Amino acid sequence: MTTNRKAAIIGGGVIGGGWAARFLLSGWDVAVYDPDLEAPRKVGEVLANARAALPALADVPMPPEGRLTFADSVHDAVEGAEYIQESVSERLDLKHRVYAQIQQSAPGALLGSSTSGFKPSELQENAANPATIFVAHPFNPVYLLPLAEVVPSPKNDPEAIEKAKEILREVGMFPLHVRKEIDAHIADRFLEAVWREALWLVKDGIATTEEIDEAIRMGFGLRWGQMGLFETYRVAGGEAGMKHFMAQFGPCLQWPWTKLTDVPEFTDELVDLIAGQSDAQSGHHSIRELERIRDRNLVGFLRVLKERNWGAGKVLLDHDERRRMGNIAHPTATGAPMVLAHMQVLPGWIDYNGHMTESRYLFASSETCDAFLRHIGAGMEYVAAGHSYYTAESHIMHAGEAKLGDRLTGSVQVLGADEKRLHLFIRIEREGTLVASIEQMLLHVDMKAGRSCPAAPEVLARLMPIAEAHQALPRPDTAGRHVGQGKS
């Protein structure tokens, strides 16, 4: 029996597979329906890429992966689903038929569409329950890129749309609420404009597909990835800002630079020209190789933004914090070592031997110690008020290996405590097996004065009963052991 929430994905192509991976790796059970007999293989390959990439963006444990099933019918897929995402081909008649089948079995379930062009009012035509149908337009790869354009129509229930947005946040996405429906929503309208101009540049022999891609990825694409359009141009305006930029470059809008309102004739010759140049540019890589290259590059770029709490990186940080709060242990017993941290060995924790690197053992200890300090009331608010516990000495013993994906727990045993000192023994374990132990001596410090001082009475009131209860515990064999000393 599973207690996981369930999402249904209708359509198992590139986008549907990306949605399935996003929900599965966020701990949801996922049922996929696609009549294509190759759907399990295609979704499986997308999921393999996601498993290699998405955890690399996280700094807290991923939840246990949900259960993936391939349903034999739309009914079986959507039965019991809290959220349904439709990702079938961009044919309105097909979408209407699929919605009719979905709403026969799940008339009240949230039903998002991955459509890149249709308005929600078009999707809702003749639906049994139009209030639950809306646009949730993602970008490929869905499992890495956070944007989902959420587009309702006047027929939608605002509370249902807010619930859908919250579900998207829970799986790490950024729901951009498009306030007024329009063909192709927001982002694809920009892409369409750039695409048309690029086709003209190739057709007129001005640039090749590779040269156009170089112009984007070596120049404005890097700026857009972290500042977007208007913020980039605000900076371009110098100290006078956007108003100066508009005054300086506004007249250029009257110049005949682009052909955005003119579309090149879509001929076989144009298709062959584009396809041939694209083959010459990238044909030495398979599609799966290009996907993995893309994912590794995106992970690196997104992690840089995450380190700076900027753009898409802020979404990742917020999602980590949401999961971190869900992982916090709340121990009640004080007569045993207190399990205070749940962690997972992430890709960034691994060294060249394929094992958890030395610094991450100390990181795991720090996470456990910090959780204990929060438990006794010496968390960040206490630090902000001018007092903290500083580590004066540490001793780590490596007892086992931890590898990628291993789930770890951190526990604390208080060996001794007084008004100024705190002596801890921390165990990092994998499924009950000791991976490392860290013995720490901490001093309580007045940060402004730069010297030790007694802890606040309310902190001692929570700490000392734990210390007293832990005195009855067996003292760890290695406690107090100096470096190189025999275990006996």
- Segment 239-279, tens digit of pLDDT: 877 777 777 766 666 666 666 667 778 788 877 887 788 88
Choose between 322 and 335: higher pLDDT: 322
Residue 75 to residue 267: CA distance in whole angstroms: 42
- Most confidently modeled range among 51-60, 320-329, 467-476: 467-476
- Over residues 206-216, the mean pLDDT reads 93
In Å, how far from its chain's centre is CA 3?
22
pLDDT band at 330 (very low <50, low <70, confident <90, very high): low
b/e 65-90 (16+ beta carbons within 10 angstroms → b): bbebebbeebeebbeebebbbbbbee
pLDDT of residue 249: 65
pLDDT band at 77 (very low <50, low <70, confident <90, very high): very high
Above 60 in pLDDT, residue 9?
yes
Percent of the chain with pLDDT over 70: 94
Above 90 in pLDDT, residue 60?
no
pLDDT of residue 166: 97
pLDDT of residue 427: 97
Residue 185 to residue 172: CA distance in whole angstroms: 21
Q: List Cα–Cα distances, 235 to 19, 165, 223, 232, 436, in angstroms.
A: 35, 31, 11, 5, 50
End-to-end CA, the chain: 47
> Within 13 Å and on the Cβ side, how many CA atoms surround 282?
17
298 backbone dihedrals φ, ψ, rounded to 5°: -65, -40
422 backbone dihedrals φ, ψ, rounded to 5°: -140, 120
pLDDT of residue 354: 83
Tokens of 46: 């997308």
Can you spell out the DSSP letters for 422-442?
A: EEEEEEEEETTEEEEEEEEEE
In Å, how far from its chain's centre is CA 279?
33
Q: Which amino acid is at 185?
A: H
pLDDT band at 36 (very low <50, low <70, confident <90, very high): very high
Query: Residues 6 or more apart from 214 whose CB is under 8 A from it?
Result: none
Cβ distance 25 to 50 under 8 Å?
yes
Which pLDDT tens digit goes with each residue over 121-157? Answer: 999 999 999 999 999 999 999 999 999 999 999 999 9
- Over residues 194-209, the mean pLDDT reads 92
- Over residues 8-31, the mean pLDDT reads 97
pLDDT band at 1 (very low <50, low <70, confident <90, very high): very low
* pTM recorded for the entire structure: 0.76
Residue 227 to residue 358: CA distance in whole angstroms: 36
Query: Residues 6 or more apart from 184 whose CB is under 8 A from it?
Result: 116, 117, 192
Above 60 in pLDDT, residue 333?
no
SS3 (DSSP) at 9 = strand
**Whose CA is closest to 413, among 422, 421, 405?**
422
- Over residues 278-305, the mean pLDDT reads 83
DSSP label of 172 = T
Residue 109 to residue 452: CA distance in whole angstroms: 58
Above 60 in pLDDT, residue 2?
no
Cβ distance 114 to 16 under 8 Å?
yes
